[in-house]
C-alpha cells in the first residue's frame, strides 16, 4: 500500500481489529506512487507463491491501483479490493455521492486522466477505450 506511514498504520489497525492475523499483513511504506508501491512490494514479498490478493486502496484510486497490480504481478493471482472513502471538506466521498460535489467530480475526473496517462506511458495495464468525446482532450495531454 502506498501513502503515509500513519495511513498505513491506520489501515493495519483496522485489519487487525477485523480479525486479520498480523503475520499475513505486509505493508510497503517507501513508495510515492502506485508503480513504486508494487515494485517495492515485490522486494519484500514473494508473489509467485500466492493465488489471491486483497489490496487496500482509496475508492477513487482503486482502478489505477488494480491496473498497476495487473501490470507487474503474475496473471494467475485473483485480486480483491478493500476500499475506503476519501474525505473532502469533512464529507465522506463514495460511489453514491461523488457526483454531488465539484471537488469530488474533479477528483474522479483527475483519476480517470491519470489512468489514461499511465496506461499510455506503459506503467499500468492498458485501458480499452476512452469515454466518447474526450479523445481530443486526451490527445492534447499526451502531446503537451
pLDDT at 78: 96
d(CA 140, CA 144) in angstroms, rounded, equals 6
pLDDT at 95: 83
Query: For 60, which DSSP code?
Result: G
- With cell 493465488, the residue in question is 51
Note the pLDDT of residue 133.
Answer: 66
Q: What is the pLDDT along the chain (144 residues), one digit of tens a residue?
A: 444 557 778 888 988 999 999 998 888 888 888 899 899 999 989 999 999 998 888 888 999 999 999 999 999 999 999 888 889 999 999 888 888 999 999 999 899 888 888 988 899 998 776 666 666 666 676 675
Residue from 20, 77, 26 nearest 52 by CA: 77
Q: What is the pLDDT of residue 2?
A: 46
The angle formed by the CA atoms of residues 32, 14 and 56, to the nearest 5 degrees, is 40
% helix, strand, coil for the chain, step of 5: 55, 15, 35
Query: What is the Rg, in whole angstroms, of the alpha carbon atoms belonging to the chain?
Result: 16
Amino acid at each position: 500500500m502506498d501513502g503515509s506511514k500513519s495511513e498505513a498504520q491506520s489501515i493495519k489497525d483496522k485489519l487487525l481489529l477485523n480479525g486479520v492475523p498480523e503475520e499475513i499483513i505486509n505493508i510497503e511504506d517507501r513508495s510515492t506512487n502506485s508503480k513504486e508501491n508494487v515494485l517495492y512490494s515485490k522486494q519484500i514479498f514473494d508473489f509467485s507463491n500466492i493465488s489471491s490478493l486483497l489490496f487496500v486502496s482509496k475508492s477513487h484510486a482503486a482502478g489505477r491501483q488494480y491496473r498497476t497490480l495487473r501490470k507487474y504481478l503474475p496473471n494467475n493471482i485473483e485480486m480483491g479490493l478493500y476500499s475506503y472513502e476519501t474525505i473532502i471538506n469533512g464529507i465522506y466521498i463514495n460511489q453514491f455521492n461523488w457526483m454531488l460535489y465539484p471537488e469530488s467530480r474533479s477528483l474522479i475526473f483527475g483519476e480517470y486522466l491519470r489512468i489514461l496517462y499511465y496506461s499510455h506511458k506503459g506503467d499500468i495495464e492498458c485501458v480499452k477505450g476512452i469515454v466518447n468525446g474526450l479523445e481530443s482532450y486526451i490527445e492534447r495531454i499526451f502531446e503537451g
